[in-house]
Amino acid sequence: MLKIEKIRKDFSILKRKVHGKPLVYLDNAATTQKPKVVIDAVKDYYENYNANIHRSIHVLGEEATAAYEEAHKKIADFINADFEEVIFTKSTTESLNLLAYSLTADLKPGDEIVISEMEHHSNFVPWQQLALKKKLKLKFIEINKGGTLNEESIKENITKKTKIVSVTHVSNVLGTVNDIKEIGKIAHENNALMIVDAAQSVPHMKIDVKDLDADFLAFSGHKMLGPTGIGVLYGKKELLEEMQPFLYGGEMIKEVTFENTKFNDLPWKFEAGTPNIAQGIGLGIAVDYLNKVGMENIENHEKELVKYAYEKLNKIKEVEIYGPSPEKRSGLIAFNVKNVHAHDTAQILDGEGIAIRAGHHCAMPLASKLGIVASARASFYVYNTKEEIDKLVEGIHKVIKVFK
């Protein structure tokens, strides 16, 4: 059982009032708030040992290098990866683009890439553009009416022609938790690489990359209490060693001659230039915080919240919920109030101090599939409460009243 009130005291922003009312922050799928220890860690770096890493032998440089490398180790341990297999990027988006760039060498016209209909643009557009550029075939795993992936469509689309399968672990719109382990097994049976967009899963549940057997897995720091501007790409060591770097210069260099260049060892081979040092250190502290709270505790807390919210919203006849039942989803709910645009819903809720997301959630093909242009989305995290969900429900009743 989490001590939510104690946890909430670590997040000073939650004391804020919006439009004269206490802030109810339910936009965690977009970004999470930061505990004081993370903010302090970033501040401490800039105030006390700000220096570039892996370059200088002075004290500041050595302290910064040690802290940055320790952050890599913390993240590797967090997902049960080896140190060399964890690359810091700017975001999940950059991690996936890195793969779309670096995995192309052996692809030829007619080869197939498989994604799903529920992908975020960051796991859709890079593969779409790659397919257009190299005359590849991009195939889509269909979704069922209930918002889950169609099992027959998975088996039909992943074939011996498939070279890459890239699927979200948790849909940022539907909340659907996909069976990545099973999809990866089918991919590997067909000698295809398995890539996982884990932006909405790593912050909310215990992830073991060795158990999942994913070849690559990407996620973002800012969605798990860490700073913005820092993301992670996990990759199996043997695959990363074969891959061409995404960017050149700075830390990814081992030796340069007039004739050629030798690249650095992993993971630095993929971290060109001066990295986001402060953000990396901050992410390490965020992982410390999550470990202290306990990922199993966080997952159970969110399951309680999403079940509670789903049941409350499902009783309102004017509300349409998208996606599966609570037991098949993570801690978010996308919905619409019938005959009300999602932006209007969000604006009225904002007037009540309630922060949610409204729009297509960077998943326009999925919105098209659902037959909508936008939806409202409430997403929960470790510091949210059932009382805040009650305020959301009250706010939705106000939306209904305004548009009656």
pLDDT in tens, 317-347: 999 999 999 999 999 999 999 999 999 999 9
251 has pLDDT over 90: no
Number of neighbours of residue 135 by Cβ within 10 angstroms: 11
Rg (CA), the chain: 22
Q: How confident is the model at residue 246 (pLDDT cuts 50, 70, 90)?
A: confident
Number of neighbours of residue 255 by Cβ within 10 angstroms: 9
369 has pLDDT over 80: yes
Number of neighbours of residue 279 by Cβ within 10 angstroms: 24
Architecture of domain 49-292: 3-Layer(aba) Sandwich (3.40)
For range 131-140, the mean pLDDT? 97
335 or 250, higher pLDDT = 335
| Domain parsing of the chain, residue ranges | 4-28+294-402, 49-292
pLDDT at 404: 84
How many whole angstroms separate alpha carbon 295 and alpha carbon 303?
12
| CATH (residue range 4-28+294-402) | 3.90.1150.10
105 has pLDDT over 90: no
Catalytic machinery residues: 362
For range 186-209, the mean pLDDT? 98
Alpha helices in 208-294 (DSSP H): 209-212, 237-242, 277-293
55 has pLDDT over 90: no
Cβ neighbours for 114, distance < 8 A, ≥ 6 positions apart: 138, 139, 140, 141, 157, 158, 162, 164, 165, 166, 167, 187, 192
pLDDT at 326: 97
- Using the structure block, give the residue that is written with the tokens 């067909």: 190
301 has pLDDT over 90: yes
What does the mean pLDDT of the chain come to?
Answer: 97
Cβ neighbours for 243, distance < 8 A, ≥ 6 positions apart: 102, 103, 235, 270
Number of neighbours of residue 107 by Cβ within 10 angstroms: 18
The rounded percent of the chain whose pLDDT value lies above 70 is: 100
1 has pLDDT over 80: no
43 has pLDDT over 90: yes
For residues 345, 346, 347 and 352, what is the CA-based torsion angle, rounded to 10 degrees?
100
Number of neighbours of residue 53 by Cβ within 10 angstroms: 21
- What pairs with residue 357 in β-bridges? 377
pLDDT at 37: 98
- Using the structure block, give the residue that is written with the tokens 């593969």: 127
Instruction: Tell me the whole-structure pTM to 2 decimals.
Output: 0.97
- What pairs with residue 195 in β-bridges? 166, 216
Strands 112-116 and 162-168: parallel
Q: How confident is the model at residue 155 (pLDDT cuts 50, 70, 90)?
A: very high
Q: How confident is the model at residue 292 (pLDDT cuts 50, 70, 90)?
A: very high
